[in-house]
Amino acid sequence: MSTKLIAHPRTDDPRSQADATDVILTGDRPTGSLHLGHYAGSLRSRLALQGRCEQTLLIADLQALTDSAGRAAHVAQHVPEVALDYLAVGIDPAQTTIAVQSRLPALACLAILYLDLVTVARLERNPTVKAEVELRGFERDIPAGFLCYPVSQAADITGFRATLVPVGDDQLPMIEQTNEIVRRVNRLGGPPVLTECRALLSSTPRLPGVDGRKASKSLGNAIPLSATNEEIHRLVMAMYTDPGHVRPSDPGRVEGNVVFAYLDAFDQDLAAVAELKERYRSGGLGDVPLKRRLVGVLEALVSPIRARRAELARDRGYVMDVLRAGSERANVTTEAALRDVRGAFALDA
Ligand code: TRP
């Protein structure tokens, strides 16, 4: 089998990567509220693309359950929380469809069909799944649904006929596996019914947690999208910098320094950040003034999001209506894709 190599360029402006005919799908697992890493890595691209292309955001509750079946109520509670996060950052349901994965039965049917095209060995080799299995300490007790979630994600992507998928680089193996499935479906015998997709990577490298480790809700090292100013202050002051930078006059390291990672992601004044890096490297800039600057930048970013979220949270009915209308629209789209795939499998002949 020939494997087509697909370029996944990083871009500062996602709009240069998308044209009006692109169909965009991304998703989030509703296991907690979204944080600044989600904003830098993906929400920002979605906002930039809103209104330019057809776009759907999928709240992937079934995917969340693949490793959290014991916390089903927690997952269910976070479906509207994630929707609130989307709306608070400026996702407009008139331009972007927000849908709930479990309300789209066609996706489950697609996943069942695709499972016949994928080997267990291939699933076990998926680097993202492998890393997550290790992280969660499943060892031999991997839920079958978890091992198969890349197939379910392929169903998500193809169910919407997505051509462009804004994701973090940890999701690249999912895109590759989706495209393998697309090629297999198209080779089943009939005319091709699906098209391959490409990833849209954010220009911001993955944002670390405040301690320099991978940002994660369970570690409490991520800055929530709706953090209070006190939380922002506390988390920024706790940020890992350079342990060798003891006195302000000491030369400091910028690489691996969490404060600079956040400034790179969020400070609009690139020239000022470049100058701060210069001063930090050569010695003469302490951590505290640097952190104060970041606190200001983050407060300016987060305050309007927090205010909008609080306002929207007062109207649960509105959020539920957005999810109902979005899922209804998504049902039409995904049912149509399922009809074509059923055809490729010679069902309904
Ligand atoms: N796996 C993604 C994550 O963990 C979430 C997701 C589910 C997704 N379905 C998707 C992303 C479809 C892109 C496209 O973040």
* Judgement on whether residues 113 and 21 belong to the same structural domain of the protein: yes
At 293 the pLDDT is 97
Ligand 1 pocket member 156 (CB < 6 A):
yes
pTM of the predicted model, to two decimals?
Answer: 0.92
Q: Which atom of ligand 1 is nearest to the CA of 162?
A: 14
User: What is the CATH classification number for the domain harbouring 86?
Assistant: 3.40.50.620
Rounded CA-CA distance 65/108 in Å is 14
* Judgement on whether residues 120 and 243 belong to the same structural domain of the protein: no
Closest to 43 (Cα-Cα) out of 51, 52, 35? 35
At 33 the pLDDT is 87
Ligand 1 pocket member 41 (CB < 6 A):
no
User: What is the CATH classification number for the domain harbouring 293?
Assistant: 1.10.240.10
Domain count, the chain: 2
* Judgement on whether residues 185 and 287 belong to the same structural domain of the protein: no
In a domain, 52, yes or no: yes
In a domain, 329, yes or no: yes
Q: How far is the CA of 277 from the centre of ligand 1 (A)?
A: 35
Rounded CA-CA distance 128/63 in Å is 14
Q: Which two tokens stand for residue 253?
A: 């390291």
pLDDT by position in tens, the chain (length 349)? 333 344 444 456 787 888 889 999 999 999 988 999 999 888 988 999 999 999 999 999 999 999 999 999 999 999 999 999 999 999 999 999 999 999 999 999 999 999 999 999 999 999 999 998 888 888 788 999 999 999 999 999 999 999 999 887 888 999 999 999 999 999 999 899 999 999 998 777 789 999 999 888 778 899 999 999 999 999 999 999 999 999 999 999 999 999 999 999 999 999 999 999 999 999 999 999 999 999 999 999 999 999 999 999 999 999 999 999 999 999 999 999 999 999 999 998 6
* Judgement on whether residues 104 and 253 belong to the same structural domain of the protein: no
Rounded CA-CA distance 65/52 in Å is 32
Ligand 1 pocket member 14 (CB < 6 A):
no
Instruction: Quote the Cα angle for 146-58-78, to 5°.
Output: 75
What is the DSSP annotation of 19-33? -TT-EEEEEE--SS-
Burial (CB count within 10 angstroms: exposed 0-12, middle 13-18, buried 19+), residue 289: exposed
Ligand 1 pocket member 67 (CB < 6 A):
no
In a domain, 4, yes or no: no
In a domain, 298, yes or no: yes
Ligand 1 pocket member 29 (CB < 6 A):
yes
Domain that holds residue 240: 229-309
* Judgement on whether residues 162 and 110 belong to the same structural domain of the protein: yes
At 7 the pLDDT is 47
* Judgement on whether residues 67 and 155 belong to the same structural domain of the protein: yes
Write the residue with the smallest CA distance to atom 15 of ligand 1: 28
Write the residue with the smallest CA distance to atom 3 of ligand 1: 28
* Judgement on whether residues 59 and 149 belong to the same structural domain of the protein: yes
Write the residue with the smallest CA distance to atom 11 of ligand 1: 27
Tracing tokens 């066609």 back to the chain, one arrives at 106
At 202 the pLDDT is 77
